[in-house]
Amino acid sequence: MSKYLIGGLFAILAISVGLFWWQSNASVPLSIPNSPPPEAQIDPVEIDSLPEADPNAPQFGKAPPNPPRASILSREERRFNRYDLDRNDEISRIEMMASRTKAFKKLDVDGNNLLTFEEWAITTSDKFAKADSDNNKKLTRSEFKTTKAKRSTKPKCKC
Protein backbone atom coordinates (compact mmCIF):
# COMPACT_ATOMS: atom_id res chain seq x y z
CA MET A 1 0.00 0.00 0.00
CA SER A 2 2.83 2.36 0.82
CA LYS A 3 4.35 1.72 -2.65
CA TYR A 4 1.20 3.09 -4.31
CA LEU A 5 1.08 6.10 -1.98
CA ILE A 6 4.74 6.97 -2.62
CA GLY A 7 4.26 6.44 -6.38
CA GLY A 8 1.19 8.70 -6.43
CA LEU A 9 2.98 11.47 -4.47
CA PHE A 10 5.97 11.22 -6.81
CA ALA A 11 3.67 11.51 -9.87
CA ILE A 12 1.95 14.60 -8.43
CA LEU A 13 5.34 16.14 -7.63
CA ALA A 14 6.62 15.45 -11.16
CA ILE A 15 3.51 16.98 -12.75
CA SER A 16 3.78 20.07 -10.52
CA VAL A 17 7.45 20.62 -11.39
CA GLY A 18 6.66 20.19 -15.08
CA LEU A 19 3.82 22.74 -14.93
CA PHE A 20 5.98 25.30 -13.13
CA TRP A 21 8.80 24.84 -15.63
CA TRP A 22 6.36 25.16 -18.56
CA GLN A 23 4.79 28.35 -17.14
CA SER A 24 8.17 29.94 -16.50
CA ASN A 25 9.21 29.35 -20.13
CA ALA A 26 5.86 30.57 -21.46
CA SER A 27 6.18 33.93 -19.72
CA VAL A 28 9.44 34.84 -21.53
CA PRO A 29 8.53 37.07 -24.49
CA LEU A 30 9.89 36.16 -27.91
CA SER A 31 12.05 38.80 -29.51
CA ILE A 32 10.81 39.53 -33.04
CA PRO A 33 12.71 42.22 -34.94
CA ASN A 34 10.58 45.19 -36.03
CA SER A 35 12.74 46.21 -38.97
CA PRO A 36 11.68 45.15 -42.49
CA PRO A 37 13.90 42.69 -44.38
CA PRO A 38 16.66 44.25 -46.50
CA GLU A 39 15.69 44.86 -50.11
CA ALA A 40 17.46 42.97 -52.84
CA GLN A 41 20.11 44.95 -54.67
CA ILE A 42 19.68 42.97 -57.95
CA ASP A 43 18.58 44.76 -61.09
CA PRO A 44 15.47 42.97 -62.47
CA VAL A 45 16.69 43.48 -66.05
CA GLU A 46 19.78 41.37 -65.34
CA ILE A 47 17.67 38.41 -64.21
CA ASP A 48 15.68 38.19 -67.46
CA SER A 49 18.55 38.62 -69.91
CA LEU A 50 20.96 35.86 -70.90
CA PRO A 51 24.69 36.46 -71.23
CA GLU A 52 25.89 37.12 -74.77
CA ALA A 53 29.28 36.34 -76.24
CA ASP A 54 31.54 39.08 -77.54
CA PRO A 55 31.20 39.44 -81.34
CA ASN A 56 34.98 38.85 -81.69
CA ALA A 57 34.97 35.70 -79.53
CA PRO A 58 36.25 32.58 -81.32
CA GLN A 59 33.71 29.88 -82.21
CA PHE A 60 34.61 26.24 -81.83
CA GLY A 61 32.43 23.91 -83.89
CA LYS A 62 28.75 24.17 -84.62
CA ALA A 63 26.02 24.63 -82.07
CA PRO A 64 24.78 21.45 -80.37
CA PRO A 65 21.54 20.01 -81.77
CA ASN A 66 18.31 20.20 -79.86
CA PRO A 67 17.60 16.96 -78.01
CA PRO A 68 14.79 14.83 -79.48
CA ARG A 69 11.46 15.05 -77.73
CA ALA A 70 10.42 11.70 -76.34
CA SER A 71 6.72 11.05 -76.09
CA ILE A 72 5.55 10.01 -72.67
CA LEU A 73 2.62 7.66 -73.00
CA SER A 74 0.03 7.44 -70.31
CA ARG A 75 -0.95 4.12 -68.81
CA GLU A 76 -4.15 4.05 -70.88
CA GLU A 77 -2.26 4.82 -74.11
CA ARG A 78 0.14 1.93 -73.47
CA ARG A 79 -2.81 -0.35 -72.72
CA PHE A 80 -4.53 0.78 -75.90
CA ASN A 81 -1.37 0.15 -77.96
CA ARG A 82 -1.12 -3.37 -76.55
CA TYR A 83 -4.48 -4.24 -78.14
CA ASP A 84 -4.11 -2.16 -81.33
CA LEU A 85 -2.08 -4.77 -83.23
CA ASP A 86 -2.17 -3.12 -86.68
CA ARG A 87 -1.50 0.37 -85.26
CA ASN A 88 -4.39 2.09 -87.05
CA ASP A 89 -5.59 3.81 -83.85
CA GLU A 90 -8.68 1.61 -83.76
CA ILE A 91 -9.23 -1.64 -81.87
CA SER A 92 -11.36 -4.19 -83.66
CA ARG A 93 -13.19 -6.98 -81.87
CA ILE A 94 -10.70 -9.48 -83.29
CA GLU A 95 -7.76 -7.47 -81.93
CA MET A 96 -9.42 -7.19 -78.54
CA MET A 97 -10.09 -10.92 -78.30
CA ALA A 98 -6.75 -12.05 -79.80
CA SER A 99 -5.07 -12.20 -76.41
CA ARG A 100 -7.76 -14.57 -75.13
CA THR A 101 -7.95 -16.80 -78.20
CA LYS A 102 -5.12 -19.16 -77.19
CA ALA A 103 -6.63 -19.83 -73.77
CA PHE A 104 -10.07 -20.38 -75.28
CA LYS A 105 -8.72 -22.82 -77.90
CA LYS A 106 -7.03 -24.85 -75.15
CA LEU A 107 -10.37 -25.20 -73.35
CA ASP A 108 -12.41 -25.88 -76.50
CA VAL A 109 -11.50 -29.55 -76.94
CA ASP A 110 -13.84 -30.36 -79.87
CA GLY A 111 -12.97 -27.12 -81.76
CA ASN A 112 -16.54 -25.96 -82.42
CA ASN A 113 -15.90 -22.45 -80.95
CA LEU A 114 -18.35 -23.19 -78.16
CA LEU A 115 -17.19 -23.87 -74.63
CA THR A 116 -19.43 -26.29 -72.76
CA PHE A 117 -19.36 -26.94 -69.06
CA GLU A 118 -18.07 -30.46 -69.70
CA GLU A 119 -15.07 -29.14 -71.65
CA TRP A 120 -14.27 -26.71 -68.88
CA ALA A 121 -14.77 -29.38 -66.17
CA ILE A 122 -12.54 -31.91 -67.99
CA THR A 123 -9.73 -29.36 -68.29
CA THR A 124 -10.11 -28.40 -64.63
CA SER A 125 -10.18 -32.00 -63.41
CA ASP A 126 -7.16 -32.85 -65.58
CA LYS A 127 -5.34 -29.90 -64.05
CA PHE A 128 -6.29 -31.13 -60.57
CA ALA A 129 -5.20 -34.71 -61.31
CA LYS A 130 -1.88 -33.47 -62.71
CA ALA A 131 -1.24 -31.41 -59.55
CA ASP A 132 -2.26 -34.24 -57.15
CA SER A 133 1.11 -36.00 -57.13
CA ASP A 134 0.31 -38.44 -54.28
CA ASN A 135 -3.17 -39.35 -55.70
CA ASN A 136 -4.99 -38.81 -52.39
CA LYS A 137 -7.71 -36.62 -54.02
CA LYS A 138 -6.55 -33.61 -51.98
CA LEU A 139 -4.13 -30.82 -52.80
CA THR A 140 -1.55 -29.69 -50.27
CA ARG A 141 -0.10 -26.19 -50.41
CA SER A 142 2.94 -27.36 -52.33
CA GLU A 143 0.76 -29.27 -54.81
CA PHE A 144 -1.57 -26.29 -55.23
CA LYS A 145 1.40 -24.06 -56.14
CA THR A 146 1.92 -26.17 -59.27
CA THR A 147 -1.53 -25.17 -60.61
CA LYS A 148 -0.45 -21.56 -61.04
CA ALA A 149 -0.44 -20.49 -64.69
CA LYS A 150 3.01 -20.22 -66.20
CA ARG A 151 3.80 -16.66 -67.20
CA SER A 152 5.77 -16.02 -70.33
CA THR A 153 8.96 -14.06 -69.85
CA LYS A 154 8.60 -10.48 -70.95
CA PRO A 155 11.44 -8.65 -72.67
CA LYS A 156 13.42 -6.44 -70.33
CA CYS A 157 13.10 -3.40 -72.59
CA LYS A 158 10.17 -1.98 -74.52
CA CYS A 159 12.04 -1.65 -77.80
Give pLDDT tens digits for 21-63. 777 776 666 666 676 666 655 555 555 666 677 888 777 777 7
Give whole-number Cα distances, 134 to 124, 131, 149, in Å: 18, 9, 21
In whole angstroms, give the CA distance from residue 108 to residue 144.
Answer: 24
Q: Which of 156, 158, 132 has the alpha carbon at shortest distance from 146?
A: 132
In whole angstroms, give the CA distance from residue 89 to residue 83.
Answer: 10
Q: Domain limits of the chain?
A: 74-103, 108-148
What torsion, rounded to 10 degrees, do the Cα atoms 12, 13, 18, 23 define?
90
Residue 56 per-residue DSSP state:
T
Residue 99 and residue 107 in contact, taking contact as beta carbons nearer than 8 Å: no
pTM exceeds 0.85 for this model: no
Across the chain, mean pLDDT equals 77
Least confident stretch, 14-28, 94-108, 129-143, 145-159: 145-159
What's the confidence (pLDDT) of residue 137?
A: 82
